[in-house]
Structure 1
Amino acid sequence: MTKFRAVQILVALGVMSLLWFGLDGQQALRLLARADPMWLGAAMLALTAQTVLSALRWRLTARQLDQSIPLTHAIGEYYLAQVVNQSLPGGVLGDAGRAVRARHQAGLRRAGAAVAIERLAGQVALFLVLAAGALAVTVLPGGLALPNWVLGLIGTLLAGGLVVVVALGGAGQLPGRAGTAARDLRGALRVTLLAPGALPRQAALNLAITAANLAAFAFCARATGTALSVTETAVLVPLILLTMILPLTVSGWGLREGAAAGLFPLVGASAQAGLAASLAFGLMFLASTLPGLLVLLAQRHDRRAPVPVPVSATTAQADP
């Protein structure tokens, strides 16, 4: 175990301990124990759909960069990446492995670009849903009333995303390798996301993937006793899930639960309900990645399988 991974585990345990003792963890555990299995099953189906659709998005993105990935292979690789992301430091090594294993057709640079752009597209879609939800509750009367600190957080996140876009556009003017890399990335983004043949399919896939992700959390909330409306899901759940991209804990454990506990009172639910819903989501997400273990075992079996010796070669060795 690396020091970084050990620190991640300690931070996750520390945050979870603070939440447990500070928010009556026993009550959250009771809500989790009484969770409705039908809603948990719906969450599992939504997370499974998210994985399959994400593999399709990766396959489409790679195809725009002259890589051909069979559908079953893409799905298996995506499941394997999820398992690795859950167990190794950083939370992205599984995606790096996808790029390395897909490098043979177009080289490591294009394979890496396809994986990075595919993941980036998912985060952009989550940001857009968050912006649309915040705009809806701000403009429409009688909706979710967001306190100033939540509006400020949303504004900061969206402003940060805009700064990244502007910085990427300006980085192409830099000399040397930095400018070349920025121009290459912009070109890859145009080809994979904005090309006429790719844009409609990318938009549809990203919307469906984001909807499945948000629905899975909403289903877990419903299973543990909190019903979230579509607007509430569009505003609060992205804020909760975005904590998972911060490499401070293991796969967002602790941070996600803290965000849920802090935001659920905005919809009239208790902090314990938020904690229970986030725990249910984390467990369902872990369960949804289990097929990746089968992919890993299959790959190890293929590596250990003996290479058959051609009959002609055996005959030649037997001849004097």
Structure 2
Amino acid sequence: MILVTGGAGFIGANFVLDWLRDGDEPVVNADKLTYAGNAETLAPLSSDERHVFVREDICDRAAMDALFSTYKPRAVVHFAAESHVDRSIHGPGEFVQTNVVGTFTLLEAARAYWGTLSGAERDAFRFLHVSTDEVFGSLGPADAAFSEVTAYAPNSPYSASKAASDHFVRAYHHTYGLPTLTTNCSNNYGPYQFPEKLIPLTLINALAGKRLPVYGDGSNVRDWLYVGDHCAAIRTVLARGTPGETYNIGGWNEKKNIEVVRTLCALLDELRPAAGGARYESQIEFVKDRPGHDQRYAIDATKIERELGWRPAETFETGLRKTVQWYLDHAAWVQGVTSGSYRHWIEKHYAPQS
């Protein structure tokens, strides 16, 4: 069995669904179910005995100790994190609590559990920490892409909190010998993404006839990684990665934000034409840039390809088409997230025990 944290969030849920689709090893899935954690995403697993869902906070040491003691996982895949830059600007405290204190608490629980293992079980144990390229800061137009040895230079409370968590993971390997692995990924997109992020927000607003806000002049550049590719890379690192190492995971797809929005609009024009033949691109509206907005991120994913044999299967064009089609085909999921009805479902099914 493996322990997944944050497995009701966007990337974590995709990972759990893919894991159980492609294999039989059980998962214990621990998620606090904050606003971005949607238990309905895991509905296909409701009758699957290989999936054990527990509503727990990674900051709760006693709860984490109990999970390790009860389920005895061979590995931890740690997704649980606050991840939206805008939210971190307006409320950084939650990011420190979840991303820094939560990771520290989970590391302590994992170290205590690992200390009880011996022989092959101890040697095989892994703690895989999922992080972001934002810890490296911002690149200029001609700068080389981020590599695993790029110096950290976080520019937002979110990226600073993730950088701190990365450092704790590194320290627990070098100080205590805990067999850790760290992955730093670029911008993910795909099914089940909460609609505060660029692609689902743009898609949902476009279909609703609302404005499509783009920060600044839309020239900020990101590398885009289809979530299914990301999950495959994490499985590869978990299976074959070297303890103590970090691996950058990218899609080899650098795009300006305005290019992403226009490409998405063109796909909607094709797949779901607007009434009266209007073009979705006409809804684009440039808005005031956010504070400290990094200009460019780019991932050099050479190491994971060279050492572990992973490379993304999707281009941006194929991945975006799959993503748009998924949202068009899953209007009920979108409605549940945007209306808040899933919050009532959570409270009904996962209310605290009295």
Pick the TM interval, shorter chain.
under 0.3
Greater RCO structure (CA 8 Å; 6+ sep): 1
Larger Rg: 1
The structure with the largest helix share of the pair is: 1
